[in-house]
Amino acid sequence: MQTENAQEDLWIPTTCGLCYSVCALKVHRVNGTVIKIEGNPESATNRGRLCPRGVSGIMLLYDPNRVNVPLKRTNPNKGLDVDPGWKEITWEEAIDTVAERLRKIRREDPRKLLMTGTVTTQDEVPFSRFFTMAFGTPNGWNSGAGNHCGTAEHLYGALLHASWAKQPDSDHCRYLLNFGSGVGSGSYYTVTGMAQRIAEARLRGMKHVAVDPFLSPSAEKADEWIPIRPGTDAAFALAMLNVLLHELNVYDAEYLKHHTNGPYLIGADGSYLRDETEKVPLIWDPVDAAAKPFHSPEIKDFALDGVYAVDGQRARPAFAVLKEHLAPFTAEWAEPITTIPAATIRRVAKEFAEEARIGSTVVIDGKALPYRPVAVMYFKGAQGHKNALLNCMALELLTEIVGASNVPGGLLGMNSCSVGEPETGQPAWIPKADRDGLMITGYWPSFPPPYPPKEVRATETIDLRGLIPTCPGSSGALPVVMADPKRFAVPYQIEMNLHLGSNYLMTFADPEAVARAFQNVFQVSFALFLDESTYLSDIVLPAASYLERLSHTADWMSSNAAVGEWCYHVRQPVVDPIAQRRSVCEVLLELVERLEMREEFYAFINLLLKLKEPHMLDPTRCYSWSEIVDRRYKSVFGEARGLEWFKKHGVLKWPKQAEEVYWKPSSSARVPIYFEWFKTLGEKVKAQADEIGIELDTSAFQPLPEWRPCRAHEENSPGYDFYAIYYKLPMQTFSGTYDNPWLDEVCQTNPFAYGVAINASAARQRGIEEGDWIEITSVATGHTVRGQAALTEGIHPEVIAIAGCGGHWSKYLPIANQDGKGLCFEWLIPVGLDNVDIPSLTQDTCVKVKVVKATDRGSKRSSRSSRLNDLNHLNDLNPG
């Protein structure tokens, strides 16, 4: 943009806040107006590039539909479509009201406070957690428990990769087997950086095999697309494991012996055999023909196969137990489940086995490291099912069996290991072994990490995460328990919700059921927009967007690529908050004072922000937000790199060392291929559930993988012959960006963004043609949503695919709420524990639907969709 006659012409470094990737920005401000947002080329995170959302942040900043003043509800009735009757109030009145409520709750039982947040604000939500911890409540719910959160995937991230998320080694991987994740195609972690890295890998010749019901943005870029029936990925993976171990006899014995619990001896009861004195797991040394503690220096070799008698007990190495367990899961067994021909499964397994190059090494930074250039990726698609725990286990074992975990070419945890960097102040975090030799993460974004197993404390939380501590992310049980806490022996009810940016009505499941759980709660929303979930609010506070606020940190564990450089950023306001908008963190600091909880709060800040002397907060005085941020930076990065340094420079980076990226070969921590402790934990969960009288199927707490059908797979109601699935596009983040007119404009140019992808032949058999309005009715909820058919050959004939979280109905979102702006998938998914994977509390997103051609275009509340597939429509929008 031309900037002649400008009195002010600035480029301000900051970070994007429109998804959890946290790309670095340079924002161009001329005479006080933001005129361009660019990627900051100094940053390793996005290397100067931005996705369509990042570029369009200007329209979020200046959207006149943003909340600009505090509001209070005047209509005492609450409901999905009930207008709250907003009345403008002063900030003073708003804070008085909120503080009074909080004081009352804290006096009675602080656990009655819930905080709902979104993962797109990696600054405000974690900081607000410090507030709720100091307040005294364990209850929080991040958006995404329905369609977005990796839940069980994050659990295995902790258990196998010491990381929240993982990525293929884009520098060396040669075979990417991708079960529906969006890596490299504009969703998943580090969107912008991985788009570049995976594009380079494509040119380098990495083969990408996409196993996906839909030819999704990611599958479009694959070398081979294998359409699969939804929710059956584990069957495919089990059959591959069967081919690897029973037909090809391919596995990385050295890796399994030294880096997994594969050699640990398993007794007849499924538990480890332990030695008498130290009580640590035993292995079998075939050279000395003796059982020895797994860490004994006397071990000459580890047995992976065979049956042994140890102190009169029959015992087998875990690997042998796994191998035997896999015997029935042949390619022929998987074919009718997955609809993938057995020959295809065998071929892929063979390609995977060959490309894993077991035994080969590569020299990196002067060190010879195992070279296993294959990676298995998956995220919500394969994981979001009734049997998430066992599905993910099957998928993860592919990587483990061939030794491709955290070695060059393979699957890498994101920032699992830091050896420490004295010059920048970054501390060391290194995965370490517990007494059983199994890995504990070096770092975990929430506390504590899932392993070692946490105590089972049934009635502690409102989301069953106390009872079931293996859920590391968003719990699918929260609305169920919240609606009826007595049934779960939870001794309190949620009375108040601090609602930070999550439109939970549109990102979990059946909005009516979720609304029922929330409608008796006093809800205070820090909101950018009056979205659907604020219809249930009592007070709405105008929140500053990421372009208008200062943050204590922008980065988190999964915003940095696995390879390349360490990189840290600043998030600072590029303009003063517009109108009466305020930073959430600043408002919370004010509430801390009003509630007289400074001492507890500062103690949490000192601990969790890792403040060091002389920068620790002294509770005898009150600090401003920018003072706290400055102290955070100085504590981590040293005296010279405080807030002022970051505001000026924007980015601090330095290269990662090979042993940080490829940390597994030098780590003594083993990972499980036999999840022994799941069984014991499941027994504890069962016992407590029985005690409080909840019927809970805990049978999936088992040490070895399995495929079990989802409810949808056993659904035979006549006419309900399609599976509905959800996927992500790079043009929208969850439900929060749909009012952005620029993103709306490009969505209208994409045939699938607002429409319903349906197999062309299957559609025509039902008399459905391109662009026809169709009605989609869920067998599970009975709700119907409407949209326009987008016919494609690129989708499994049994499947329809809906992108993103469109179909808004809030009257305060005038762009998003129009007919033809996508569909709200959540109407199709039921709320209830029988739709949840018990061990990981993952919500099943697999559902059977009836699809019929609509007889008229009439609209139903849950039914907004259309698409403009005419390439020239943009000229049509342009009258004249």
Partner 1 sequence: MVIDLKKCIGCTGCALVCKAENATPPGILWLRVVKHETGKYPQVRRVSVPLQCMHCAEPPCMEVCPTGATFQHPNGIVDIDAELCVGCRYCMMACPYDQRFFLSAERTYFPGHTTPFEQAGYQRHQAGVVSKCNFCTPRLQRGLEPACVANCMSRARTFGDLDDSNSEVSKLIRDRAGYQLHPELGTNPSIYYLPP
Q: Give CA 34 to chain center in angstroms.
A: 31
Shortest approach of partner 1 to residue 760 CB, angstroms? 8
Distance CA 280, CA 166 (A): 30
Q: Which of 43, 46, 534, 862 binds partner 1 (CB under 8 A)?
A: 46
Of 222 and 245, which has the nearer Cβ to partner 1? Answer: 222
Q: Which of 715, 745, 798, 819 binds partner 1 (CB under 8 A)?
A: 745
Q: Any idea what DSSP says for residue 389?
A: H
Of 31 and 666, which has the nearer Cβ to partner 1? Answer: 31
Shortest approach of partner 1 to residue 56 CB, angstroms? 5
Q: Are 785 and 776 in contact (CB under 8 A)?
A: yes
Of 446 and 749, which has the nearer Cβ to partner 1? Answer: 749
Distances in whole angstroms, Cα of residue 803 to Cα of each of 508, 728, 755, 757, 790? 15, 5, 8, 9, 12
Exposure string over 687-704, b if 16+ CB within 10 A, otherwise e: ebbeeeebebebebbbbb
Interactions with partner 1, residue window 746-765 (CB under 8 A)? 746, 749-752, 759-761
Q: Are 450 and 472 in contact (CB under 8 A)?
A: yes
Q: Which of 19, 50, 318, 605 binds partner 1 (CB under 8 A)?
A: 50
Which string of x and - marks every residue 722-741 that binds partner 1 (by CB under 8 A)?
--------xx---------x
Distance CA 782, CA 59 (A): 37
Shortest approach of partner 1 to residue 567 CB, angstroms? 17
Shortest approach of partner 1 to residue 164 CB, angstroms? 22
Structure tokens at 344: 């295809």
Closest CA to 57 of 603, 687, 737: 737
Shortest approach of partner 1 to residue 789 CB, angstroms? 15
> Is the peptide bond prior to 230 cis by the omega test (within 30 degrees of 0)?
no
What ranges in 519-618 are assigned the alpha helix state H?
584-594, 598-608
Number of residues binding to partner 1, judged by CB under 8 A:
73
Of 603 and 746, which has the nearer Cβ to partner 1? Answer: 746
Exposure string over 306-330, b if 16+ CB within 10 A, otherwise e: eebeeeeeebbbbbbbbbebbeebb
Of 220 and 278, which has the nearer Cβ to partner 1? Answer: 220
Is residue 136 within the footprint of partner 1 (CB under 8 A)? Answer: no
DSSP string, 185-202: TT-SSSHHHHHHHHHHHH
User: In degrees, to the nearest 5, what angle opens at C-alpha 228 toward C-alphas 226 and 230?
Assistant: 150
Residue type for position 569: H
Is residue 76 within the footprint of partner 1 (CB under 8 A)? Answer: no
Which of the stretches 63-71, 258-266, 409-417, 606-614 binds partner 1 when contact is defined by CB under 8 A? Answer: 63-71
Task: Burial-class residue 111 by CB neighbours within 10 Å (0-12, 13-18, 19+).
Answer: buried
Q: Give CA 195 to chain center in angstroms.
A: 18
Hey, is 736 helix, strand or coil? coil
Is residue 874 within the footprint of partner 1 (CB under 8 A)? Answer: yes
Q: Which of 15, 43, 45, 56 binds partner 1 (CB under 8 A)?
A: 56
Q: Are 807 and 795 in contact (CB under 8 A)?
A: no
Interactions with partner 1, residue window 676-695 (CB under 8 A)? none
Distance CA 758, CA 151 (A): 28
Is residue 68 within the footprint of partner 1 (CB under 8 A)? Answer: no
Which of the stretches 24-32, 290-298, 317-325, 482-490 binds partner 1 when contact is defined by CB under 8 A? Answer: 24-32
Distance CA 364, CA 658 (A): 7
Which of the stretches 56-64, 114-122, 650-658, 767-775 binds partner 1 when contact is defined by CB under 8 A? Answer: 56-64
Of 596 and 870, which has the nearer Cβ to partner 1? Answer: 870
Is residue 307 within the footprint of partner 1 (CB under 8 A)? Answer: no
Q: How many other C-beta atoms are found inside a 10 Å radius of the C-beta of residue 434?
A: 12
Distance CA 595, CA 611 (A): 23
Closest CA to 275 of 286, 304, 267, 680: 267
Is residue 62 within the footprint of partner 1 (CB under 8 A)? Answer: yes
Is residue 433 within the footprint of partner 1 (CB under 8 A)? Answer: no
Q: Which of 138, 286, 771, 794 binds partner 1 (CB under 8 A)?
A: 794
Interactions with partner 1, residue window 198-227 (CB under 8 A)? 198-200, 202-203, 215, 217, 220-221, 225-227
Of 222 and 829, which has the nearer Cβ to partner 1? Answer: 222
Which of the stretches 289-297, 608-616, 711-719, 791-799 binds partner 1 when contact is defined by CB under 8 A? Answer: 791-799
Q: Which of 11, 34, 82, 445 binds partner 1 (CB under 8 A)?
A: 34
Of 2 and 855, which has the nearer Cβ to partner 1? Answer: 2
Interactions with partner 1, residue window 138-197 (CB under 8 A)? 184-186, 191-192, 195-196
Q: Which of 142, 181, 507, 792 binds partner 1 (CB under 8 A)?
A: 792
Of 194 and 235, which has the nearer Cβ to partner 1? Answer: 194
Of 513 and 729, which has the nearer Cβ to partner 1? Answer: 729
Which of the stretches 30-38, 138-146, 236-244, 822-830 binds partner 1 when contact is defined by CB under 8 A? Answer: 30-38
Q: Are 238 and 708 in contact (CB under 8 A)?
A: no
* Residues 6 or more apart whose Cβ sits within 8 Å of residue 20: 119, 120, 122, 189, 556, 558, 559
Of 219 and 303, which has the nearer Cβ to partner 1? Answer: 219
Is residue 875 within the footprint of partner 1 (CB under 8 A)? Answer: yes
Is residue 242 within the footprint of partner 1 (CB under 8 A)? Answer: no
Q: Are 864 and 822 in contact (CB under 8 A)?
A: yes
Is residue 101 within the footprint of partner 1 (CB under 8 A)? Answer: no
Q: Which of 22, 51, 320, 776 binds partner 1 (CB under 8 A)?
A: 51
Of 64 and 693, which has the nearer Cβ to partner 1? Answer: 64
Shortest approach of partner 1 to residue 765 CB, angstroms? 13
Shortest approach of partner 1 to residue 31 CB, angstroms? 8
> Is the peptide bond prior to 879 cis by the omega test (within 30 degrees of 0)?
no
Which of the stretches 54-62, 236-244, 363-371, 552-560 binds partner 1 when contact is defined by CB under 8 A? Answer: 54-62
User: In degrees, to the nearest 5, what angle opens at C-alpha 297 toward C-alphas 295 and 298?
Assistant: 115
Distance CA 64, CA 76 (A): 27
Residue type for position 364: I
Q: Which of 8, 9, 10, 31 binds partner 1 (CB under 8 A)?
A: 31
Of 366 and 879, which has the nearer Cβ to partner 1? Answer: 879
Which string of x and - marks every residue 843-872 that binds partner 1 (by CB under 8 A)?
----------------------------xx
Shortest approach of partner 1 to residue 216 CB, angstroms? 10
Is residue 528 within the footprint of partner 1 (CB under 8 A)? Answer: no
Hey, is 118 helix, strand or coil? coil
DSSP string, 850-874: EEEE-SS----TT--------TTHH
Is residue 370 within the footprint of partner 1 (CB under 8 A)? Answer: no
Shortest approach of partner 1 to residue 33 CB, angstroms? 4
Is residue 642 within the footprint of partner 1 (CB under 8 A)? Answer: no
Instruction: Determine phi and psi for 782, rounding to 5 degrees.
Output: 80, -5
Is residue 718 within the footprint of partner 1 (CB under 8 A)? Answer: no
Interactions with partner 1, residue window 282-301 (CB under 8 A)? none
Q: Are 753 and 729 in contact (CB under 8 A)?
A: yes
Is residue 13 within the footprint of partner 1 (CB under 8 A)? Answer: no
Q: Are 735 and 118 in contact (CB under 8 A)?
A: no
